[in-house]
Structure 1
Amino acid sequence: MKYRSMVLAGCLALVAATVAHSQTKEVPSLQTYVIERDLPGAGKLSAVELQAIARKSNGVLAGMGAGIQWVESYVTADKIYCVYRAQSEEAIRKHADAGGFPANRIARITGVIDPTTAR
């Protein structure tokens, strides 16, 4: 029993040290981007097809690390508009290439306004 307590204490110390180290690592600065993807018929994709696209995207993102995050996407008749946070436009292009997704236009968002901006 004493040995098990020592092992548990050692494991807890290792976890605490790992968490402390991860908190001191420099987090990459991410910018927000909107991506316009030309995809004729996008609005007619089924829920299953959209799920497959999302799974593919998530799989590619998992292998890319913390330098890129998918926020959300908007599906229209012939396009998908995606909001991403990324270190660079290059990271977004790498994601698109690896996933086989079009990235016809990529623009960095420099500000956000909404109805409350008028106040």
Structure 2
Amino acid sequence: MPEYVIEREMPGVGDTDAAGLKGASQTSCNVLRDLGPDIQWVHSYVTPDKIYCIYRAPSEELIKTHAETAGFPANSISEIKALISPMTAE
């Protein structure tokens, strides 16, 4: 299944406390449950003003549906074509 990186512009999100992040995670998981097994949230990186999320889904459209339903921005959605790391150099 294709993987995507989603960039969410959310000014100040890096200052969100643990309870706020938990609430956002619960919202996302509830919407994912309603959308069914074809979409999966892998993990996210929270930075001062953005969240970068990794998702598995059959299409970009399903990711957009998740974002709209959950009330989260999806400023850019890019399909991941390859994964590299220091291990790639070996």
Q: Bin the TM-score by the shorter chain.
A: over 0.9
- The offset of 1:78, in angstroms, is 0.1
Q: How many residues align?
A: 90
Letter in 1 for 2:41: W
Structure 2 residue 79 is the aligned partner of structure 1 residue 92: no
TM-score, structure 2 length as denominator? 0.98
Q: Which structure has more helix as a fraction of its residues?
A: 1
Structure 1 stretches (4+) deviating beyond 6 angstroms? none
Indicate the structure (1 or 2) with the bigger Cα radius of gyration.
Answer: 1
Identify the match of residue 46 of structure 1 among 17, 23, 28.
Answer: 17
Residues 51-95 of structure 1: per-residue CA shift (max 9 Å, x gap): 000000000000001110000000000000000000100000000
SS at match of 1:102: coil
Q: Which runs of 5+ in 1 are unaligned?
A: 1-29
Distance 2:75 2:49 in 1: 13
RMSD of aligned residue pairs (Cα, Å): 0.5
Q: Distance in 2 between matches of 1:35 and 1:47?
A: 21
What amino acid does structure 2 have at the position aligned with 1:47?
A
Higher relative contact order (CA 8 A, sep 6+): 2
Q: Are 2:22 and 1:57 equivalent residues in the alignment?
A: no
* AA in 1 matched with 2:69: A
Give 1:116 shift: 1.1
Runs of 5+ consecutive residues of structure 2 not aligned to the other structure: none
